[in-house]
């Protein structure tokens, strides 16, 4: 939390945002909300971060013309939030300062939390229309893993507790990538020529799809046709390019292995929730892929993993909603 100038006489108004590597989502509330209540965001908007010089430009556009002066701000952000309010991230297109933002817009306080930490707080706000089943039983109890490839790889855990769940933020996207097939070993060996540490998100992310494709092209001694993750995914889904299809299959398989590893690390029993902007777009390919078989391929732990529900959720405004939930728990 970064405190700003105090003015407790102002009426309540909260600006909530979800700042990711690609999109910035933002909304506001004009009255306090309890953690257990449904959250009614006002003026919700989505911005493409690359179209703005910095987050302040986005906030300026969002706040322009509003009659209510916001007193507080809570931001879910893609990165590790440090005790001094700074953010360590490989996936933001610009640097970020909570204090500078607060001073510029006169916020009484600016609160920061990890974006997938916020998403974990939003789980209680989801209804059945916001998820679809990928595998396993419809419901189960216990800790929940949230994992989502986007500009990076987000991971968080929600542990049931009273009166509110305990949420663990994570930088698991930076853990070392482990191959499971000979082809994955070949790809990883090529990556290791450039750097000694290959984090999981160099494959399990949007940029990771492009990274995989380029390495597979090199291994096949084939010129790369596609230049963006979106082009590769579209070509694969349309059946236009066998190498693009192989790329998407490898991406889904590696995601399954990473998710299975994390489910065991955190002793997940309540469910694995797949989030991020990529997976809803490739839903059909994900279902047809080896994602589930790779998730379950953990030796004698397979029977344990079989009992875990796997659900695909629509990320959308949930990061903003989760940021509000986090704020409500602390005020």
State yes or no: pLDDT of 65 exceeds 60: yes
Q: What does the pLDDT average to over 34-57? A: 84
State yes or no: pLDDT of 92 exceeds 80: no
Q: What does the pLDDT average to over 220-232? A: 96
Closest CA to 216 of 239, 242, 196: 242
Q: Using CA atoms, how far apart are residues 176 and 93, in angstroms rounded to an integer?
A: 23
Task: Give the global pTM.
Answer: 0.87
Q: Which domains does the chain have, with CATH numbers?
A: 2-115+321-329 (3.30.420.40), 140-308 (3.40.367.20)
Q: pLDDT confidence of 277, banded at 50, 70, 90? A: confident
pLDDT tens digits, one per residue of 159-208:
999 888 899 988 899 999 999 999 999 999 999 999 999 999 999 999 99
| Predicted pLDDT of residue 53 | 87
Query: 325 near 70, Cβ under 8 Å?
Result: no
Q: Using CA atoms, how far apart are residues 148 and 310, in angstroms rounded to an integer?
A: 13
Kindly state the tokens that stand for 303. Answer: 């029977």
State yes or no: pLDDT of 231 exceeds 90: yes
Q: Using CA atoms, how far apart are residues 72 and 70, in angstroms rounded to an integer?
A: 6
State yes or no: pLDDT of 124 exceeds 80: no
| Predicted pLDDT of residue 295 | 98
In three-state secondary structure terms, 219 is: helix
In three-state secondary structure terms, 30 is: coil
């Amino acid at each position: 939390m970064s405190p700003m100038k105090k003015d407790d006489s102002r009426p309540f108004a909260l600006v909530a945002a979800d700042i990711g590597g690609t999109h910035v989502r933002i909304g506001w509330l004009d009255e306090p909300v309890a953690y257990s209540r449904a959250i009614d965001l006002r003026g919700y908007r989505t911005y493409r971060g690359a179209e703005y010089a910095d987050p302040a430009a986005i906030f300026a556009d969002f706040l322009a013309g509003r009659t209510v002066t916001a007193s507080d701000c809570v931001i879910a952000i893609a990165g590790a939030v440090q005790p001094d309010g700074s953010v360590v991230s490989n996936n933001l297109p610009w640097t970020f300062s909570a204090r500078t933002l607060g001073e510029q817009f006169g916020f009484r306080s600016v609160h920061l939390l990890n974006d997938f930490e916020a998403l974990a707080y939003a789980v209680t706000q989801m209804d059945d229309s916001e998820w679809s089943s990928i595998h396993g039983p419809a419901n189960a109890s216990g800790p929940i893993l949230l994992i989502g490839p986007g500009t990076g790889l987000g991971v968080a855990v929600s542990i049931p507790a009273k009166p509110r769940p305990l949420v663990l933020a994570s930088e698991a996207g930076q853990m070392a990538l482990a191959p499971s097939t000979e082809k994955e070993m070949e790809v990883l060996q090529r990556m290791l020529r450039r750097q000694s540490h290959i984090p999981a998100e160099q494959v399990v992310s949007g940029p990771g799809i492009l990274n995989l494709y380029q390495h597979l092209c090199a291994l096949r001694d084939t010129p790369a046709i596609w230049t963006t993750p979106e082009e590769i995914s579209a070509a694969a889904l349309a059946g236009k390019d066998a190498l693009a299809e192989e790329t998407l299959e490898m991406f889904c398989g590696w995601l399954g292995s990473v998710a299975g590893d994390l489910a065991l690390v955190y002793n997940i029993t309540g469910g694995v929730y797949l989030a991020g902007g990529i997976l809803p777009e490739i839903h059909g390919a994900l279902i047809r892929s080896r994602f589930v078989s790779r998730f379950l391929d953990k030796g004698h732990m397979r029977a344990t993993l079989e009992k875990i529900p796997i659900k695909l959720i629509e990320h959308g405004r949930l990061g903003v909603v989760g940021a509000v939930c986090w704020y409500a728990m602390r005020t």
